[in-house]
Chain A
Amino acid sequence: QKEVEQNSGPLSVPEGAIASLNCTYSDRVSQSFFWYRQYSGKSPELIMSIYSNGDKEDGRFTAQLNKASQYVSLLIRDSQPSDSATYLCAGSGGGADGLTFGKGTHLIIQP
């Protein structure tokens, strides 16, 4: 199993709907998780971090972590065309570890 896995997509969602992005991970990167958004040709931009089981909400974004299932997800409510980008899931073994990224999911919001 790769350490962080994501479906590369593309995932197509109508404008205004909820986009659901998923990520699974291995034991080595099981401490902390981050979601980054990356527009084509640009660098990753932090959206959210999550460390504990459960949900964490920030505006239109909700991160969910289930350590028993080794699963982390990102929900985007009221999707906008500007949300179209690649979403990178990253995990860490803790402390100052370099992050381990998935390949990213390409999200397309259809107007």
Chain B
Amino acid sequence: DTGVSQDPRHKITKRGQNVTFRCDPISEHNRLYWYRQTLGQGPEFLTYFQNEAQLEKSRLLSDRFSAERPKGSFSTLEIQRTEQGDSAMYLCASSLERARSTDTQYFGPGTRLTVL
């Protein structure tokens, strides 16, 4: 499978615990995005990497959230001290930089987080 992969697919945790999600983008894609989606809503942008550099962060990304992309390959999203409001589907997308138009983003299967 050469698409975007995410791990784990499901995570159940207790409030206050830390969780970490992983995303492996399509191999030749240099851009990687994280989104969050709650029931009945469209995905909301969280943050974006070009290679290993984190270039943009949404105001939705509180101090409890941190993302990394070491060596410009896979990325991790960590949520510290989880809250029930963090329960959502966390989606990763990747794209290949295009000179004159907006990248087309391809989504992974997502990680569904449930905070009890």
Residues of A in contact with B (beta carbons under 8 Å apart)? 4, 8, 31-32, 34, 36, 42-46, 49, 51, 88, 90, 92, 94-104
Interface segment out of the listed B12-20, B44-52, B62-70, B76-84: B44-52
- A97 nearest in chain B by CB position: B102
Partner of B56 from the list A43, A98, A100, A101 (CB cut-off 8 Å) is A98
Decide if A44 touches B48 in the complex (CB within 8 Å). Answer: no
Distance of B74 from chain A, by nearest CB (Å): 17
Which range holds the interface residue count of chain B? 20 to 34
B: which residues have CB within 8 A of A? 31, 33, 35, 40-48, 50, 55-56, 58, 89, 91, 95, 97, 101-110
Shortest Cβ distance from A34 into B: residue: B104
B109 touching A96, Cβ below 8 Å: no
Does the CB pair B102–A92 fall under 8 Å? yes
